[in-house]
Structure 1
Amino acid sequence: MPFNQELTDELNLILKFPNKSLMQGLKIHHDADPAMVSAAQRLFDKGIVSQPDGGYLTDLGHDLAEHAQVIQSALTHT
């Protein structure tokens, strides 16, 4: 199954989270790109972030962020 636009939006949002500290998160404002607002809500519904508007990555979110970074690095490395 290929990545659809919703999954791509979710992966892109996961990659925006700071990876240097567990004490840093993101706040997706209500007037942000509607695709990002929706992606944040879906990530919350899946237990990947702590709040519907971003918050912090959960343990699952941290694991997924690490994998997403590896995939991104492998696919963009030339």
Structure 2
Amino acid sequence: MALSQALLDEIAILSRFSLDSLQAGIKVHNDAAPALIAATERLYKKDLISQADGGYLTELGRETVEHLQLALTILTSEPALFTE
């Protein structure tokens, strides 16, 4: 699976959400980079966030961010050293 820039932009937006509180949302302002505005709109259309300019995570969005955070934790951790 190739990661397009559009998908990377969506991941960047999702990674800004905190899972610490359901009341924590984000707002992507109209002076943000056009690619991030478009990514936010796509996430809204995919029913991952509550508003086209950010808002809160939907149930599906929260589950997606949980998986994303786990993947990012794995990918950014130090590799385990194996001995024979």
TM-score past 0.5 threshold: yes
1:62 equivalent in alignment to 2:62? yes
Q: Partner of 2:15: helix, strand, or coil?
A: helix
1:2 alignment partner in structure 2: 2
Calculate percent identity across the aligned residue pairs.
44
Report the alpha carbon displacement of residue 64 of structure 1 after superposing the two structures with TM: 0.3
Counterpart residue identity of residue 44, structure 2: F
Determine whether 1:51 maps to 2:18: no
2:81 aligns to what?
none
Aligned to 2:16: 16
In structure 2, stretches of 5+ residues that fail to align are: 79-84
Deviation for aligned residue 1:20: 0.6
Q: TM-score, normalised by structure 2?
A: 0.89
| Runs of at least 4 residues off by over 2 Å | none
Tell me the CA shift for residue 12 of structure 1: 1.2
Q: Distance in 1 between matches of 2:45 and 2:22?
A: 20
Secondary structure class of the residue paired with 1:55: strand
Question: Quick check: which has more Rg, 1 or 2?
Answer: 2
TM-score by length of 1: 0.96
Counting helix residues as a fraction of each chain, which structure ranks higher?
1
1:60 positional shift: 0.3
CA-CA distance at 1:46 after TM superposition: 0.5
Superposed CA deviations along residues 37-77 of structure 1, whole A, max 9, x for unmatched, are 01100000100000000000000000000000011010000
C-alpha RMSD over aligned residues: 0.7
Q: What number of residue pairs does the alignment pair up?
A: 78
